[in-house]
Amino acid sequence: MNTRAKRLLLPLGGAIVASSMMGATLSTSASAQAKPAPVKSGSLANGTDAKAIAGSWTPSKLKSAKSYLEDSSLSGKLRASTSKASADGKAGTVAPTGAGGKTAGTSKNVNLPTNVGKVFFQVEGKPYWCSGTSIQSKYRNLVATAAHCVYDTDKNVYVDNFVFIPGYYQGKAPWGIYVGSKVNLHDDFKVYEDYDYDYAFVNVFNGVKQTGEKIVDKATFDAYKGPKWAKDEEITKDEYQKKVDEKGGETADAWSKTTGTETVLPWGTAGGQRVVKEVTKDEYDKAPAANSKVNYAKAPGKTATEIVDEVTYNKYTGPGYKKIVDSAYTITHYFVKYWVKKTTTVKYYKTVFHIKTFVDAGRLGDNVGGQGFTWNRSTKSKFFSFGYPTSAHLDGDKVYTGETMKWCYGQAGAAPAVAKYKAEEQLAIKCAFTPGATGGPWLLQYKSSKRTGYVNGVVSLTLDTDGNGRYDRITTPYFNSDTYGIYKYAANLWTGKLTTS
């Protein structure tokens, strides 16, 4: 394909094999670094905003988010591409790290990886999600997902409020929420929207875990950037008066509210009084005469007709009677009288200001480990792929909820060419995943006992290749030396300090 030919780099030299990356800088030979990787980086958030972003993803919001279906699926009788992916240098690997003490459950005798989860983000204010995975890096802060899950190709901007939740399950974040700091893409995806480069490596801040809530004063409440809310509580008159005396008048710390009630009494009862209220013409016509000493009798002298303009006439929905008289728009109001006892009640309140509190949950890789990374591998390798499929098949059959992780396993082959996405050199495996799994990892040499393998792809497209209404293939870009160059750049980025206080 033309864009790939333009961007093809010289081989990055010999393979890098690492048995442990703890604290180590990813590096290779000097000759391999002579030409920079075709990386495009952008900023997603800063450390000060991370707390507010993490707190905004409440369990209800997580569950309300929709799978990001745009630019991820296709149906039709698709044929294999005439352009094939191939290695452009020697194969290389970066070893994974362990997954920590907790487990992520099993699915049909396969231990699910703890470091695969969902990425959540917003596009034009609406919440969406894709799948993603923690991947090994120097600062244990890297997530791999699909590029179209971090970059809006319609508006050419990065998505908003990006977070990663490893081990996501039914609105829960067992290892915390990790806010995206920096995103790293291939230049050809950002410039040409070329899905042969539909992968992204996102650096995230330390995790954020909610620890509870506390009551604060209004000044602290106003300055706080995280989730907060105010609640009015009733207090005694003495408490109210004390606060008013202290502040020199009513404030947010104390205020009063006067309410009144009306109880209908038999006409003339001691302690009552005459009042009138507006009713419809039908109710007025049915009421007794004006001189009747009963409730709901016609109120003398209280019928009035007003002439209004056409707009007011058409918009009016009250009890008054509308009528056009000699081309004039009129509304006649009718009133009845009744006998009530009025009472007045004063209640006293204070406004209580609440904020959510958080703690720094630590680095992503320290909590859930990171999958390894490998590139320039055989195009016929066997892969496990993990993700959160959710949509129904095109024939309407909905077999996934999107709330639990699923997996596929198969041998790769050349993916069909998909001109819509400029995808000419992707790989595919047979898999019944529906959209929602997009961004989930393709793992080589996945060891179920250790829950780790080597990321050698991410779910890019979900295809129905024979047009029968059933998704039957998932695809990935081929990970070559370009991919390694972008990964290597991202794997050495520090995200800075997280502010949670």
Q: Indicate the residue among 318, 345, 372 that finishes a domain.
A: 345
- pLDDT tens-digit series, residues 390-432: 988 989 999 999 999 999 999 999 999 898 899 999 999 999 9
Angstrom distances, CA of residue 312 to CA of 40, 308, 370:
58, 6, 67
Asked whether residue 312 is assigned to any structural domain, the reply reads yes
User: Are 330 and 372 within one domain?
Assistant: no
Asked whether residue 87 falls in the same domain as residue 48, the answer is: yes
Structure pTM?
A: 0.73
353 three-state secondary structure = strand
358 domain-assigned? no
Q: Half-sphere exposure (CA, 13 Å, Cβ side) for 209?
A: 14
Q: What is the pLDDT of residue 33?
A: 40
CATH number at residue 150: 2.40.10.120
Q: What is the pLDDT of residue 71?
A: 54
Q: Are residues 44 and 172 in the same domain?
A: yes
First CA to last CA distance, the chain = 51
Q: Which residues contact 435 (CB under 8 A, 6 or more apart)?
A: 67, 69, 72, 73, 389, 390, 391, 462, 471
Cα-atom radius of gyration of the chain, to the nearest Å? 33
User: Residue 320 in contact with residue 308, Cβ under 8 Å?
Assistant: no
- Statement to judge: residues 275 and 179 lie in one domain: no
Compute the distance between CA of residue 364 and CA of residue 203 in angstroms, rounded to an integer. Answer: 10
β-bridge pairing 39-43 and 441-447: unpaired
Question: Domains in the chain: how many in total?
Answer: 2
Mark whether 139 and 201 lie in a shared domain. Answer: yes
Please provide the DSSP assignment of 35-55 as one string: S---EEEEE---HHHHHHHHH
Q: Is residue 331 part of a domain?
A: yes
Q: Does some domain include residue 219? A: no
Shared domain check, 24 and 158 = yes
Clarify whether residues 140 and 178 are in a common domain.
yes
12: in domain: yes
Residues of the chain with pLDDT under 70: 1-36, 69-71, 75-82, 99-108, 499-501
**How many residues are listed for the chain in this entry?**
501
Q: How many alpha carbons fall within 13 Å on the CB side of residue 171? A: 8
CA 47/CA 205 separation, integer angstroms: 7
- Is there a domain that residue 374 lies in? yes
Question: 362 in the Ramachandran plot: left (φ > 0), alpha (ψ -120 to 50) or beta?
Answer: left
Instruction: Enumerate the H helices of 19-122 as residue ranges.
Output: 47-56, 59-64
Domain assignment present for residue 500? The answer is: no
Last-in-domain residue among 345, 374, 390: 345
Residue 501, number of CB atoms within 10 A of its CB = 7
- State which residues form the domain around 338: 259-345
Do 108 and 139 have their domain in common?
yes
What pLDDT does residue 7 have? 40
Q: Are residues 268 and 401 in the same domain?
A: no
* 501 in a structural domain: no
| Helices and strands (DSSP H and E) totals, the chain | 10, 31
Distance between CA atoms of residues 332 and 278, nearest Å: 11
Beta bridge partners of 362: 207
d(CA 134, CA 150): 15
Q: Is 458 helix (H, G, I), strand (E, B) or coil?
A: strand
Among 345, 379, 405, the domain boundary falls at 345
328 and 470 housed in the same domain: no
Distance CA 425, CA 439 (A): 18
Q: Report the C-alpha gap between 125 and 131 in whole angstroms.
A: 20
Task: State whether 48 and 77 are in the same domain.
Answer: yes
Pair 173, 36 in one domain: yes
